[in-house]
A and B are shown apart, each in its own frame.
Chain A
Amino acid sequence: MSENSRKASEYGLMALRVFSIAAVLGAWQITAMAHVFSDFLLPSLSEVLLRLYHDLVSGDLIRGIELTLIRTFIGFMIAAAGGVVIGVAIARIPVARWFFDPLVSVGLPMPKVAFLPIFMLWFGVFDVSKVLMIAFSSIFPVIVESWAGTQNIDKYMSWSAMSLGVGKRRFLWEIALPAALPQVFTGLQVALPISLIVAIICEMQMGGQGLGGSIMTDMRFADSPGVFSGIVAIALVGMVLVKAMELVRRRLLIWHQETQAE
């Protein structure tokens, strides 16, 4: 392959990359406009975007996003705080390890959403049960990663600290936690999307508006542009959250090799 033709094919691939999403969106619009499927099954892209714009202007969209995000974040914060405490305790305190180890190894692979009806029975159908359900679903990855992160601290680092006479508490705050931070953050990055997924499932199941609740209402009223615009909104929110976590990670771990290697 000559230099020129290689360059040409690289440009071709780049064009294909940009073009592919546009092509899918275009195909959606054309298929819908040609009425290949009924409008109920596949509303056109323009109709969905118009609906999204309409909801944005009327404030419904913002309110929905706000409700869902507040629930997601409160649940996530509980999971993050509790998960780090339990994870570090398991790594450092033998009794905590004895008690939590079997619970975590049973709880981690279990489908936690199955407990939704129990949470509804115990805590009602309002925000308390949603938030607790979110926390319960996303705490396990945080526990496991904080546990592993605190357990696998570099031996030489901890020996040096101890021989320099660092007390237990200072060791925890100044050696163990910072050293575990990258892995703790990995756990948080797993937990946040789970929180959002569960928040939406809870809203679908229990109502209480939010993005999941409104999508379910639209479905019951057979309002398919509403359902599709809800999905677009949820996808955007998910994307922003995942990107934001990556940014925070890079900022927070700016001192760590993983950031400096880039």
Chain B
Amino acid sequence: MILRFLIRIFPLVLLAGLWEIAPRIGWVNPEVLPPASAVASAWYGLLMSGDLVTNGVSSLINVSAGLALGIVVGMAAGVLMAWYPAVDAAVSPLMKSLYPMPKSALIPVMILWFGLGAGSKIASIFMGCLLPVVLSSYNGARGVEQTLIWSALGLGASRRRVLWEVVVPGALPEIMAGIRNALAISFILLVSSEFLVGQRGLGYLISFLGDGGVYDAMFAGVLTVSAIGFFADRIYLYFMQRTLRWRE
């Protein structure tokens, strides 16, 4: 078990080893690629100084706020669009024509509207997460088997109860897959909006360290953000599989 895990991650260990050795023996310039151990000690320094924690907390607050707003509004809009033909006709042309828009384009407008602080970041993340959640909830809710809805109605359930107890659970697999996409987008928007403006957050910390030429710490920041994004996805995947266990 453990041995198999070690064999599985060995390529990563190999790369880390190469990363440590190459700058030390002069294959690459250590200024440009600080060895792994230097990055690790810079990471420890950032952690101890508290920079990593304060900026990390600020980033996590922004990303959770934007994502949560996007999920709530997006699910509501998507399910209502699928449930009421009038809402569908009014909203879906707009949603479908905005969907292919590259989400990063909205960051400058959000900065104009909400300033340089957390507001513009949360708004950018919200806007980016909204459409994937809307469309997946819409498709999921429309894909619920009609016979289930008819049976529930025939057994005397009110339309509202059918909506909550048949349509929403039936759409859940697709909604949750949409949220996973939104999670990935939220980190992209978080990091890029923090790179662009502001005085807080991990993206800011990374670009501040990079501008100052403290490259080992900058690498530590980049790896921290990547690790947070990676684990967020893994935890969500675990949660998703647990929630959807009743399906099969």
Contacts and interface: CB of A to CB of B under 8 A. Distances in A.
Nearest to B206: A117
Nearest to A22: B93
A49 interface: no
B134 interface: no
A170 B188 CA distance: 41
Given A114-B226, A121-B215, A98 B97 contact: no
A242 B84 CA distance: 28
Interface residues of A, number: 56
A205 B203 CA distance: 12
B206 A114 contact: yes
Interface stretch (A102-110, A147-155, A159-167, A253-261): A102-110
B57 interface: no
A242 B97 CA distance: 11
Contacts of B85: 13
Contacts of B226: 110-111, 114-115
Nearest to A220: B108
B188 A17 contact: no
Given A20-B93, A117-B218, A204-B108, A193 B12 contact: no
Given A102-B12, A118-B218, A224 B107 contact: no
Interface of A: 13-14, 16-18, 20-21, 24, 40-41, 98-103, 106, 109-118, 120-122, 193, 196-198, 200-201, 204-205, 211-212, 215-216, 218-219, 224, 227-228, 230-231, 234-235, 238-239, 241-243
Ranked 5 nearest A-B pairs via Cβ: A109-B233, A111-B187, A242-B100, A111-B229, A16-B89
12 contacts: A13-B89, A16-B89, A16-B90, A20-B93, A115-B226, A118-B222, A121-B218, A197-B102, A205-B196, A211-B105, A228-B109, A231-B101
